[in-house]
Amino acid sequence: MSQMYMKAAAATLLLAVGLGAAWADERIEGKVTGTRLTACQFKPGGCEGTLTMETNVGGKIQEVTIKVPLGTMIKLGNEVVYLPATRGKIVAVTHVTERTEKIARTIEVKP
């Protein structure tokens, strides 16, 4: 019985470690080529939708789409910026990857 318990504990630990890796914050920078709103309230963090950006990965330009959930802070210095105002701007996005989808945690617009 104790061997069965040890196998179950090891499987649980491996699953927890694997899930934890999926939740690690990553940072990506690039130029916003488009935005799409699904909801917008006129308050900080009040826009929800997607942000599409061009980024340079290993000398190769790639287009990346990032989901922007309601509550995601978008800032330029100390100012709050709304999602549509990021078009054409250089941004740094802190995000997590859940399954195959990148989900923004914060967005910093570069001056």
Q: Is the pLDDT of residue 12 over 90?
A: no
- At 110, the pLDDT band (50, 70, 90 cuts) reads very high
Q: What is the mean pLDDT of the chain?
A: 84
Task: Indicate the pTM of the whole model.
Answer: 0.75
Please state, for a pLDDT cut of 70, what percent of the chain lies above it.
79
End-to-end CA distance of the chain: 62
* Domain encompassing residue 41: 25-109
Give a yes or no: residue 64 inside a domain: yes
Q: Work out the average pLDDT over 65-88.
A: 94
Q: Is residue 18 part of a domain?
A: no
Asked if residue 20 belongs to a domain, the reply is no
Question: Is residue 32 packed enough to be buried (19+ CB in 10 Å), middle (13-18) or exposed (0-12)?
Answer: buried
CATH number at residue 51: 2.40.50.320
Q: Regarding predicted confidence, which is higher, 8 or 79?
A: 79
